[in-house]
Amino acid sequence: MPGHGANPLEHVLDHHELEIPWVTPPRFELKIPLPQIFGLQITRFMVMELVAAVLVIVVMVPVVRHISRNYVSRGRFA
C-alpha cells in the first residue's frame, strides 16, 4: 500500500470546523472554525441539523398554510 491517502472517514466524523467548497487552490475548500459557547463546542453536525430544520420550515409552512386555506388543492396551473 503506497503512502497514506485521504481517509474517507474524515467526511463522516464530527469536527469542530465547517468545510465548505471554495475556489482557492490547492485544496479548494474553506474551513470555518466553529465557536465554543458557554463551554459547549458547536460541531458540524449541529450546524447541518439547523440547516435541515430551516429548510423544512421554509418548505412546509407555505404548504400547510395553503392546505388550511384551500380544502382541495388543484396545483399552480389549474
Question: pLDDT averaged over the chain?
Answer: 83
Residue 48 within a domain: yes
Whole-number Å distance between alpha carbons of 16 and 26 = 22
Transcribe 36-52 into DSSP letters: EETTEE--HHHHHHHHH
What is the per-residue pLDDT across 44-64, written as a single tens digit (0 to 9) for each?
889 999 999 999 999 999 888
Domain that holds residue 39: 9-69
Residue 53 within a domain: yes
Instruction: Using a cut of 0.85, tell me whether the model's pTM lies above it.
Output: no
Q: What is the pLDDT of residue 49?
A: 94
CA–CA–CA angle 31, 39, 9 (5° rounding)? 40
Residue 46 within a domain: yes
Residue 28 within a domain: yes
Query: Can you list the residues of the chain whose pLDDT is less than 70?
Result: 1-4, 75-78
Residue 1 within a domain: no
What's the number of domains the chain is made of?
A: 1
